[in-house]
Every structure is written in C-alpha cells, then in structure tokens.
Amino acid sequence: MKLLTSFSRSISIITLSVLGLTACGSDDDNDNTSITPPLVEISEAEIRVIHAGSDAPLVDVLANGSSFVDDVDYAMSSGLTTVPSGNYAVAVDAQLPDGTTTTVLTADLDAEADVEYTAVALGNVADNSLMLKLIANPEQEIADNYARVQVLHASPAVGLVDIYVTEPGADISMMQPTLSANYMDASPQLEIPAADYQIRITASGDKGVVYDSGSVPLADEGDYFISAIPNTGSGMSPVALLVALPEGQLLLNDKSSGSDIRVVHAVADAPAVDVFLDGSTTAAVTNLMFKGIAGYVNIPEGEHTATVAANVDNNIIVIDKAPFELALGDSYSILAVGSLTDNDIEPWIIMESPRKVATEAKLTVSHAAYSAPNVDIYLTASDDIANATPALSDVPFKASSGSLSVAGGDYVVSVTVAGTKNVAIGPLAISLDSGGIYGVAAVDTDTSGVFDVILLDDFVSTE
C-alpha cells in the first residue's frame, strides 16, 4: 500500500538536558532524571487551485493575504501544497494588462486535518458567472494496482452528459454510462484497476460521442482529478479534459481535434499562389494573392509538407514540400515570406493563441518584411513617439511577439528602424476591444512606399 500524502507528522519540539538535582541535606545524593521530550502532532491539509475559467486572465491566489500561488493560467493546476490546518481567507486576483491586479473571487476555507481540498475557478468573466467550486476529500490510501479518479463537470455551456470510462475500443452502444454529470457536479473518488482506458462523453441518453480521449494510461496508484473544461483549442469537441495530478497537470484534447492552420501570403513580389499539402494534387488553398489570408482549416496533427505554386501555372513551384509539424489541439499561421526576385521564399510558422480573454485584448505583432532591417515597434496613444519607449525592441525578420496582453482602447502603431525614431510603417490608428484577438504582420509593399502591414483576426483599422 502506498500513502499518497502524509498529513500528520510527529516531531520533537523540545529537548531537555539531564538535570543534576542535589537532595536536601546531602551533598552525595544526586538524582539524575532523563525526561523524554513530548511529541506534538502537526495537523496539516493539502490545497490545490485549478483555473477553469475559459475567458479569465492569469490569476494569483492568496491565502490570508499572502501569496499562495502566482501566474496560474487557464487549464493549469497549482499542484497539491501542504499547509497547516486552520482557517484561510482565499482570494483570487486577476492580472490586468496594465500590471495591476483586481480581486475577482473570495472564499473562506476551514481546512481540516488530513483532508485534500481542490478549489476550481470556473464559469465566465463576461457574464459574471465566475466562481469557486470547492471539493474536499479525506486522505486515503490507494490500493496496489489501482488508480484513483475523480471527475468534475466544469464546462458551463454543456448540459447533462454521460461519461463512459472503458477499455480502449469498447462498444458503448449497449453500455450504461460509468457516471452522469451536470455542470458543477463532481463524482465520488473512484478506484479502478490501473490499465489503459478510453474516456468518452455523450449528451445525456445519447450515444453520439462529443469527446473521445483515445487510449489513456492510468498508472498504478495514480491520483487523477479530471475536469471537463471548455475547449478553447482546435477541433469540434466542446470540451477538453484537464487532468490535475499531485504535481502539475496535463491536457487531454479530443483525439480528433487535429490542428487548425491558416495560410498568409506575405511575399510582395510573388503572384497569386495555390497551396498543396502532403503531396496532394488538389490544392488546399487556391488563388491566394499578396496580403491574402486563407481562413483556418483543420488538419490532422503530426508531420506534414507544404508546396506553394503559382496559381496561373502549378508547374512554377516556389516552395517545394517544405516540412512542418503540428501539435494536437493547437492553432497556427503559416506565412509565405521572402522574395521571389531573390528566389528566396519559405514558410514561416507561428503558433497562435485563439483563447479570448474578457479583461484584455490579445495582440500579436510579427516581422515578415523580407527587405526590412531589425525594427522597433511602438504602441502609443498618439502618433508622437518622440519620447515613447518601444513596446518591442530590435525585432528581426521572422520574429513574432507572441500573444501580448493589451488593455482595450485606441492606439497608434508605429514601426521604426531599430534604434531610431524614423517611422518605416505607420503611424497606423487601431482600436482594440477587450475580448478581441488581433494580429499585425509587417511586410514589404507591392504598391507605394517601402513597407506595408497585413491585419489579421479581429483587427480593424480606424482609418
């Protein structure tokens, strides 16, 4: 048997030396008494925090006014932390894009000894339904050759569901579900033999599978707290499974989630193109012109190749079977960058972050201008950058900012040659809305001037 976590430990808190006591009336009688130190039992509990609020920002968690865990993002678990039992005032502080925080959730927790507590932030910021769900379980042993599983329905847009936990490939058409759950329902802790399993979710009373984990190993004496959370990645499933472990977590996407990709034509001196995947003779994208954006399509995760040919004559190939690899559940932009004149065109893959956050705009800025040197990028309230500090400095060709958290509002984007105030792109007036996703790619131009931009996602110029 294995004890997952010891909550009660006995320690010695005092050591007394042998005292030489001189008896009254006698100089020779010494009574040396050895005193055994008392043992004090330390009373402890364990707490973890899970972020399952799909439109909430990074959060910090405080206990009695002190930091408990910082920088918890969506689909993350803090892992189990041992704390003295007692009363805790728990606060969840949202990180705002201006660097400040605001308290969005509070709860009082009376943490009892030998109990494991899981606090799950779930619901939505946008409709004020964000809340803390608290699940308490007594500390228990897990039998040899068994795993322990507990399931929480943490997806507010999904109603009553049936959950099947079976051996891989089992036919569920005549089976009763392992359990049924509505939003915010938590199952009991279930002990099942350690083995490979398949987890499938259907609407209540229906056998049409809306989530399929594929084969998943549950380890001997493994302890799994599984939350069905909103799917903010690729694929059609409404949920993904967040598996919280005693230390850390893993995310199980539906096995058919694939990867979402879009193609962006960022080569100013190249004609309209067709894009072929994996050697197919049928184009996945056709007649994509400079600054054109092909909307997201879903393809299987894994290794692929891309071939880009002129639309007018597919025998004119500018990118020939360039390899790339995609991860399950992720989204990507594939930009064709470079110069046809220099016979130097290649694909550039950027991972995108499609999850919308109610308290901020998300902005990605990418340097796709082949002929441009390193640049500084300014995001300011006006077009005056004389005393401004760049939001991004010394950005080289084929570098991307990643997803930046920005307060909603009106801004001006200016791109200068690195280390100077000489504006090469812009000033470009833009509006960003909280909850929006925005992308800007700096490119060469095929018209006038030197450089241009491609606006992506929800980006809308106010010009």
The confidence score (pLDDT) of residue 271 equals: 95
The confidence score (pLDDT) of residue 332 equals: 97
The confidence score (pLDDT) of residue 39 equals: 57
From 295, 291, 286, select the one nearest 270 (Cα to Cα): 291
The confidence score (pLDDT) of residue 11 equals: 28
Low-confidence spans in the chain with pLDDT less than 50: 1-30, 460-463
The confidence score (pLDDT) of residue 35 equals: 57
- Beta carbons within 8 Å of 34's beta carbon, 6+ residues apart: 18
Task: Give pTM, 2 decimals.
Answer: 0.87
The confidence score (pLDDT) of residue 126 equals: 95
**Residue pointed to by tokens 């995310």:** 251
The confidence score (pLDDT) of residue 22 equals: 35
The confidence score (pLDDT) of residue 289 equals: 97
The confidence score (pLDDT) of residue 331 equals: 97
Is residue 7 within 8 A of residue 114, CB to CB? The reply is yes
